[in-house]
Amino acid sequence: MKPLLKNFAAIVVMICLYANASAQAPAKVYTHADTLRGSIGPERAWWDVLRYDITVKPDYLAKTIVGENKITYKVLNDNKGTMMQIDLMEPLVIDSILFNHKAHLQYTREGAAWHVQVPQQKKGADNNVDIFYHGKVHEGTRPPWEGGFTYTKDSLGRPWMTVTCQGMGASVWYPCKDHQSDEPDNGASLTMIVPDTLVAIANGRMEFKKNNGDGTATYKWAVVNPISDYCIIPYIGKYVNFSEKYQGEKGPLDVNYWVLDYNLARAKEYMPLQVHQMLQSFEYWFGPYPFYEDGYKLIDAPHSGMEHQSAVAYGNKYKFGYGGRDGSGTGIGMKWDFIIVHESGHEWFGNNITTNDLADMWVHEGFTNYSETLFVDHIYGKDAGDQYNYGIRRGIRNTTNIIPVYGVNAQGSGDMYPKSGNMLHSIRHGLDNDVLFREILRGLNKTFYHQTVNSSQVEAYVSKQTGFDYSKVFDQYLRTIQIPKLQYYFSDDKKTVFYRYDSCVKGFNMPLKLKNTQTDIKIIPTDQWNSVALKDGQDALFTPDAISKMYYIKVAVVNKDTVGK
């Protein structure tokens, strides 16, 4: 996908919820390799990926793969002998590279970056390179958080293989242009050659299955929509399938469930209702499912789960909560399956709207974290949504910024999940207009449909649609670790309240709408003292506990006699 020119793992939050708070880590020193991986340098800038056609043959016992990726691309400017950067991580090695199926290209290796000497090409031309490779493949040590290729066994001791590589990068298992900003505009295919006793599944729809007569079978799957390279994933095991048609906003949606054979009965009983509630909620809040052409699948996985586009990995053991636990501590999270809801939420934020730089991953994880609150709101009511959102704050650590350094494949703190979700909830409460808030969420998915974006574009969109400049609000929560503090005091007769924000960036101005069943008031505090006359009963709205439950801020009543001293 081309970046829009105008203007990690989805479960990390659960680790945060139970981890001990740690001291702020020292600043990381970034290397030339980080820059090669995380930026669009001259060897990447001149070409745009149009399509990946990947073929892999994994060897379960040797833990190796043999593969090929034909990369079709468009030349964006006249290329006069410029090198092409292809990414493939050790210990995998490239065997050969063909240009337009004919000429053998020369290349050198610099860590995970391969510098390929390509011939002169004219702007606008569509060409391809066919890359053949093999070798031992990096294994995931703790998937999905520390990813790679997974060679494992199901509970009956049979081979089970898949990949997780968000953040780490797809080049851990196949050669590609490993940068989020460039998704293949015309989709991708994945062909898998596997033992004929196993079933191979991937994103999108199956194009064919062929028995090779030598103990192997070939499966080819393809998507027609743009897709992040880390979302292209094989699932290989003793799978069986059941399917249905879901009547969604854009018409019938093909929904498929691929589960290990011994899970079939409980999957049929458990999965469809969870998926229906998820789709009902998210199509209401975010708009139509973004990949009707490729369908929606849930697939049993040997890890907890991941948001692989149109082929969501499911490993929650058919339990409500996250593996039987409630990250909010409220009990509300035990009413629904966290993995089905959260990972599917990424179809809108992460897969439909994708960030150009890993540093802006809060757009994926923050909105998707907030999708949990919106799901609860839609199914169980607004009060339950408020309680759930407040409950997940216990996972916020505030040790490092959510947005780190750009251009070096750096990922911000795990606060991108619950802190960003609480920021969005705070904005929603201050806006106090769910019709408009829903239009903004749906508008984001329509305006940036199948596009890659920067955080700044999302931030500007929210400000434009609300008619209020939220730039300092985003700066506060995404680019600092300060928790803003609302300070206030009353006049002696309680007919006037004085208020300001403290512990905040200059200009922080998040609106606050305070209300109960009798009255309401809206204020827009800044870092300067302001005041407003109160009507009868409005002083009761200024209750620290109630305010801090609605907004991710600290609240303190101050002594008026000490103000300014």
Chain mean pLDDT for the chain: 94
Residue 18 clears pLDDT 70, i.e. is over it:
no
Residue appearing with tokens 């929904």 = 255
Q: What is the pLDDT of residue 5?
A: 37
Instruction: Please report, as a single letter, which amino acid is at residue 152.
Output: T
Q: Determine whether 17 is exposed, middle or buried from the number of CB atoms within 10 Å of its CB (0-12, 13-18, 19+).
A: buried
Residue 250 clears pLDDT 80, i.e. is over it:
yes
Q: Predicted confidence band at 379 (pLDDT cuts at 50, 70, 90)?
A: very high
Q: In the sheet that 93-99 helps form, which strands lie side by side, from edge to edge?
A: 103-104, 93-99, 126-136, 64-75, 47-59, 188-195, 216-223, 205-211
Q: Distance between CA atoms of 202 and 206, rounded to whole angstroms?
A: 8
Q: Distance between CA atoms of 456 and 474, rounded to whole angstroms?
A: 9
Q: For residues 148 and 137, is the Cβ–Cβ distance under 8 A?
A: yes
Tell me: the pLDDT tens digits for 428-450? 999 999 999 999 999 999 999 99
Window from 27-31, 283-287, 296-300, 506-510 with minimum mean pLDDT: 27-31
Q: Distance between CA atoms of 330 and 388, rounded to whole angstroms?
A: 7
Q: Distance between CA atoms of 133 and 328, rounded to whole angstroms?
A: 45
Instruction: Please report, as a single letter, which amino acid is at residue 378.
Output: H
Determine if residue 486 is left, alpha or beta; phi over 0 gives left, psi from -120 to 50 gives alpha, anything else beta.
beta
- The reported pTM is 0.94
Q: Predicted confidence band at 78 (pLDDT cuts at 50, 70, 90)?
A: confident
Q: What is the pLDDT of residue 564?
A: 67
Which residues, other chains included, contact 361 with Cβ-Cβ below 8 Å and sequence gap of 6+?
8, 355, 411, 412, 416
Tell me: the pLDDT tens digits for 153-206? 999 999 999 999 999 999 999 999 999 999 999 999 999 999 999 999 999 999
Q: What is the pLDDT of residue 9?
A: 36
Q: For residues 289 and 296, is the Cβ–Cβ distance under 8 A?
A: yes
Instruction: Identify the residue with better confidence: 24 or 255.
Output: 255
% residues pLDDT > 70 (the chain):
95
Residue 3 clears pLDDT 90, i.e. is over it:
no
End-to-end C-alpha distance for the chain, whole angstroms: 56
Q: Is 254 helix (H, G, I), strand (E, B) or coil?
A: strand
* Cis previous bond, 26, omega within 30: no
Q: Distance between CA atoms of 308 and 295, rounded to whole angstroms?
A: 12
Q: What is the pLDDT of residue 458?
A: 98
Over residues 421-434, mean pLDDT: 98
Strand-strand pairing, 47-59 and 64-75: antiparallel
Over residues 446-462, mean pLDDT: 98
Q: What is the pLDDT of residue 81?
A: 67
- Two tokens at 201? 């599944």
Residue 469 clears pLDDT 90, i.e. is over it:
yes
Q: What is the pLDDT of residue 167?
A: 93
Instruction: Please report, as a single letter, which amino acid is at residue 348.
Output: W
Q: Predicted confidence band at 560 (pLDDT cuts at 50, 70, 90)?
A: confident
% residues pLDDT > 90 (the chain):
93
The candidate with the shortest Cα–Cα distance to 13, out of 440, 427, 347, 333, is 333
